[in-house]
């Protein structure tokens, strides 16, 4: 049976290095069979790739790229917390998606979809999750998207 | 002993059809004895009923109606995920309430109360939940309120 | 072995009275080995201490004090829910930090750190948590910070 790492390879996805937290917290907490992943920003190897407000500084396509990058960081953080073994994921339970946008931008779901689609592609049925997607007037370091997550693990 | 469906009938509440998710996700995930309900918007049978920003386009009373509609959608989604059996709810654990509003609107708790009151009315003591209620500058499809939820189930 | 109350004493921290909820909800729900703490605002004994928007009405240092006050309210609410026994905390799992700020404020992590640092100081290794920190255009009662939390308990 193919592993999640096989699946990542098949999808052509190389996970970034596990992100260092940007404050007094940890990237992942394992508790009672769940993994709580801290809010991830669209940085790669410590360098922020997507900043700006959707509808003013950046467009929806760029925001979707930002959301995908957040999703890859979630997986990278999770893999590190699971000692490299993403096959311990039983279910992607929930994503919390914050999109930095102007007041009249209303397509947060379309932005969030590109993060959700990563979970579906990587985990299949086990990647089907609940989610909220909302706007925010401001995010840390002016990033375009921030996403946190909860996974059920074995 | 009366069922939750009896209680809904007694309260004169008819739940809407379970809402379809507005993106690449599912309405409810059941994991480790909890039900995670995706962010619900004030739509009924696929048609959005409450849009606009509190303090500019709509007033607090309208926002309260929107929050109540979100709460009913949460129950509808949950009931579908529990194969029609809301008596499997042991506890309403948490609501996360986002209110689309202008900067100087500060009565998010009053808006959120009309969703919280649904849980109290339907589940009694088991409906007493934790909650956050915050403002947002923008929400999907310009809806006035979005609410997600966590329930403990048996 | 020193208790958490000893540790609070050593740190010179006196917890405020457990805050009353500002709406139709409860401060803490215990479910399936977790404690879900409702969003706390920077009030002490019912009086709100920190209002205003970071970057316009208040500065970052004031926001950090507000975040610390929220953290102390989280501990006060949790202690009350645990019948006075904070030694039942196995882990601080997650904080959700909302900072009321102007659009171009991007230091939400620095504000959130002063809440996170409370958890680290009080619980040591068990205080290391996941977190999101985001901006909000508006918060209840015009407070500067609102924070909710999840703890694992025994």
pLDDT digits (tens, 9 = 90+) for B86-99: 999 999 999 999 99
- Tell me the per-residue pLDDT of A103-125, one tens digit each, with 9 for 90 and over: 999 999 999 999 999 999 999 99
Do A36 and A28 meet the contact criterion of CB atoms below 8 Å apart?
A: yes
ipTM over 0.90: yes
Looking at the predicted structure, is the pLDDT value of residue A50 above 80?
A: yes
Position C22 pLDDT exceeds 80: no
DSSP one-letter string for A79-129: HHHTTT-GGGEEEEEEEEEEEEB-TT---HHHHHHHHHHHHHHHHGGGG--
Instruction: Tell me: pLDDT of A15 over 90.
Output: yes
Judge whether residue A56 has pLDDT over 90.
Answer: yes
Instruction: Work out how many domains chain B is built from and give that number.
Output: 1
pLDDT higher than 90, residue A20: no
- Chain B, window 24-43: residues with a beta carbon less than 8 angstroms from a chain C beta carbon: 32-34
Q: What is the CATH number of the domain that holds B114?
A: 3.30.1330.40
Residue B70 lies in a domain: yes
Share of chain A above pLDDT 70, in %: 100
C1-17 per-position pLDDT tens digit: 789 999 999 999 999 99
State the DSSP H helix or E strand holding residue B18, giving kind and residue range, or none if neither. none
C22 within some domain: no
Selected residue of B114, B132, B144, B151 to mutate for chain C interface (largest C Cβ count, 10 A): B132
Residue B119 falls inside a structural domain? yes
Mutate to test the interface with A, among C130, C134, C148, C149 (most CBs of A within 10 A): C130
- Tokens 């829910």 correspond to C81
Note whether B152 contacts A: Cβ–Cβ < 8 A: no
Residue A22 pLDDT exceeds 90 = no
Taking contacts as CB-CB distances below 8 angstroms, the residues of chain B near C27 are 130
Look at residue A95 and tell me whether its pLDDT is greater than 80: yes
Q: Are A25 and C137 within 8 A, CB to CB? A: no
- By 3-state DSSP, what share of chain A in percent is helix, strand and coil, each rounded to 5? 35, 30, 30
Q: Containing domain of residue C48, as a range?
A: 4-16+27-153
User: What single string gives the DSSP state of each residue in chain C?
Assistant: ---HHHHHHHTT--PPPPPPPSSSS-SEEEETTEEEEEEE-SEETTEE--BS-BTTTB-HHHHHHHHHHHHHHHHHHHHHHTTT-GGGEEEEEEEEEEEEB-TT---HHHHHHHHHHHHHHHHGGGG--EEEEEEES--GGGBSEEEEEEEEE-
> How deeply is C16 buried, as exposed, middle or buried, from its count of CB atoms within 10 A (0-12, 13-18, 19+)?
middle
Question: What pLDDT is attached to residue B149?
Answer: 98
Mean pLDDT computed over every residue of chain B: 96
Residues in chain B where the model's pLDDT stays below 50: none
C21 lies in a domain? no
A152 near B CB under 8 A: yes
Q: Would the pTM count as exceeding 0.95?
A: yes
Whether C52 contacts chain B with CB within 8 A: no
**CB-CB contact of C82 with C22 (8 Å):** no
Any domain includes A19: no
Pairing of strands B89-100, C43-44: unpaired
Question: What residues form DSSP beta bridges with B43?
Answer: B48
Q: What is the chain A residue with the closest CA to C118?
A: A24
- For residue B78, tell me if it sits in a domain: yes
Q: Report yes or no on B17 lying in a domain.
A: no
Assigned domain for C139 exists: yes
What tens digit of pLDDT does each residue of A23-34 get?
889 999 999 999
pLDDT in tens, A79-88: 999 999 999 9
């Amino acid at each position: 049976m193919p592993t999640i790492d096989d699946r990542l390879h098949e999808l052509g996805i190389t996970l970034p290095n596990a992100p260092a937290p940007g404050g007094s917290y940890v990237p992942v907490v394992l508790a009672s069979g769940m993994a709580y992943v801290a809010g991830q920003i669209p940085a790669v190897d410590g360098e922020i790739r997507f900043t700006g407000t959707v509808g003013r500084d950046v467009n929806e396509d760029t925001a979707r790229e930002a959301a995908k990058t957040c999703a890859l960081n979630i997986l990278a953080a999770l893999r590190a917390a699971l000692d490299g073994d993403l096959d311990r994921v039983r279910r992607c339970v929930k994503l919390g998606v914050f999109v930095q946008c102007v007041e009249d931008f209303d397509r947060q779901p379309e932005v969030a979809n590109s993060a959700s689609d990563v979970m579906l592609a990587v985990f299949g049925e086990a990647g089907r999750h609940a989610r909220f997607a909302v706007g925010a007037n401001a995010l840390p370091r002016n990033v375009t998207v921030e996403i946190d997550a909860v996974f059920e693990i074995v």
